[in-house]
């Protein structure tokens, strides 16, 4: 085949245009300052709200805070080590889960102290405190309890062959742990004993959150979003995303008001038609939904 200038322009000009558009788009979103999405674009690993306005979200290396129910977020702390979980009991006192340890703040996140968890291997995937002294920490297959603000930790549940993903407590007695294969562990005596329950859904449950001893929510893979009104004995599907997204986290202030962090695998046009606020991110789209 004879290669002509017309052939070259016909073949390579569209390629050059595509490369220029991609380069311009890439440069515009990763230039001298972070522009969109603000204030950062990493996936959210965990969320915690102390009331219907004030809450925190952790991305793994950055802690964000909102004071207007999630409409705006600001970065309040950055860590050089991976921290996938957090919990605050008030505006000043909170904890971040790390590798074989938790980090504690008593001044709203300005300064953090390291509290090492002995004889445990792995990340603290979730953390929950009933008050400034009594709290629980969750690794892949161990639940630990502290009664002195995180200085010392003791085993609450271990030697079970399931993947622990998150937990939530209501009061000093009721607690739930979400696992793989749609399973839960529940305690009614502050973690002294745990019983295995099933949600009836086969998917991995990433997060569980209870508004009271009866009303709770669970979210997980393949768009799983479940609700219970009897403490976890029975669960019903209240939302299912046909695009097979992965709902990573949910936080509910009461039985009706809550937040979700969703990773979708569909086009922005589809999300726009559903009137959801979208955040582009690599091959996924992340949605932060405010539910009322």
pLDDT by residue, tens only, the chain of 292 residues: 433 333 334 443 444 344 444 344 444 444 455 544 567 667 778 888 888 889 888 888 888 898 988 888 888 888 778 888 999 999 999 999 999 999 999 998 888 999 999 877 789 988 999 999 999 999 888 899 999 999 999 998 887 778 898 888 888 899 999 988 899 999 999 999 999 999 998 889 988 888 889 999 998 888 888 999 999 999 998 765 545 577 877 777 677 777 766 654 433 323 222 223 333 332 333 344 444 4
- Give CA angle at 63 (62, 66), nearest 5°: 135
CA proximity to 127, closest of 162, 156, 91, 159: 156
Strand partners for 197:
184
Query: Cis link prior to 41 (omega < 30° from 0)?
Result: no
54 vs 125: CA distance, rounded Å: 22
CA proximity to 209, closest of 249, 262, 248, 237: 249
Whether the CB-CB separation of 79 and 61 falls below 8 Å is answered with yes
pTM across the whole model: 0.69
218 vs 91: CA distance, rounded Å: 26
The CA radius of gyration of the chain, in Å to the nearest whole number, is 22
Identify the DSSP state of 221. G
């Amino acid at each position: 085949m004879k290669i002509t200038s017309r052939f070259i322009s016909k073949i390579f000009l569209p390629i050059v245009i595509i490369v220029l558009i991609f380069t311009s788009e890439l440069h515009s979103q990763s230039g001298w300052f972070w522009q969109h999405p603000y204030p950062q674009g990493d996936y959210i690993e965990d969320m915690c709200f102390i009331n219907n306005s004030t809450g925190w979200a952790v991305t793994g290396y950055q802690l964000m805070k909102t004071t207007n129910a999630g409409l705006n977020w600001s970065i309040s702390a950055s860590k050089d080590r991976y921290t996938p979980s957090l919990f605050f009991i008030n505006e000043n006192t909170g904890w971040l889960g790390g590798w074989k340890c938790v980090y504690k703040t008593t001044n709203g996140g300005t300064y953090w102290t390291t509290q090492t968890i002995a004889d445990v291997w792995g990340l603290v995937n979730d953390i929950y405190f009933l008050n400034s002294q009594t709290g629980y920490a969750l690794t892949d297959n161990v639940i630990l309890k502290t009664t002195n603000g995180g200085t010392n930790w003791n085993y609450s549940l271990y030697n079970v062959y399931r993947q622990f993903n998150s937990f939530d407590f209501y009061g000093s007695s009721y607690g739930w742990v979400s696992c793989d294969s749609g399973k839960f562990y529940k305690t009614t005596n502050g973690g002294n004993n745990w019983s295995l329950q099933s949600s009836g859904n086969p998917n991995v449950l990433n997060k569980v959150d209870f508004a009271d001893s009866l009303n709770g929510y669970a979210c997980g893979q393949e768009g799983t979003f479940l609700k219970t009104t009897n403490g976890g004995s029975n669960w019903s599907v209240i939302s299912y995303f046909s695009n097979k997204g992965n709902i990573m986290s949910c936080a509910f202030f009461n039985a009706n008001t809550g937040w979700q962090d969703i990773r979708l695998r569909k086009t922005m046009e589809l999300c726009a038609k559903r009137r959801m606020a979208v955040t582009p991110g690599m091959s996924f789209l992340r949605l932060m939904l405010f539910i009322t």
